[in-house]
Amino acid sequence: MRSRYTAFATGDADHLVRTWHPRTRPDDVGLDPATRWTGLTVLRTVGGDVGDDDGVVEFVATWVESSAGRRGPGAGGELHEVSRFVRRAGRWLYLDGEHG
């Protein structure tokens, strides 16, 4: 989860593609360069331990518009999501999430 947040924050679309389950991954991982991610708070985790093949992460990520984007400079907000992950061939992959 933290590596995916970092990928969003640094604009690393390749990492997002590599860590997204191929069954649910979109054709294009579009990152908005005007969005600056400013923080991540993990609220809870379920599973995801060494012997597990799936896990859940609930988090809140905050953002602001760094330029005159869709919402205008200085606009911001938060993304509250409960994400599901699965382990395949020893690697954790993002499966999907529900926004709250």
Query: For the whole prediction, is pTM greater than 0.75?
Result: yes
The domain segmentation of the chain, as residue ranges, is 2-99
How does pLDDT run across 11-44, given as a tens digit for each residue? Answer: 999 999 999 999 999 999 989 989 999 999 999 9
CATH fold label, 2-99: Nuclear Transport Factor 2; Chain: A, (3.10.450)
pLDDT of residue 69: 55
| Cα–Cα distance for residue pair 71/87, rounded to 1 Å | 36
How does pLDDT run across 42-67, given as a tens digit for each residue? Answer: 999 999 998 999 999 999 999 998 77
pLDDT of residue 68: 59
Q: How many CA atoms lie within 13 A of 32 on its CB side?
A: 14
Cα–Cα distance list, 38 to 22, 41, 72 (Å): 28, 10, 16
- CA angle (96 as vertex; 95, 97 as ends), nearest 5: 145
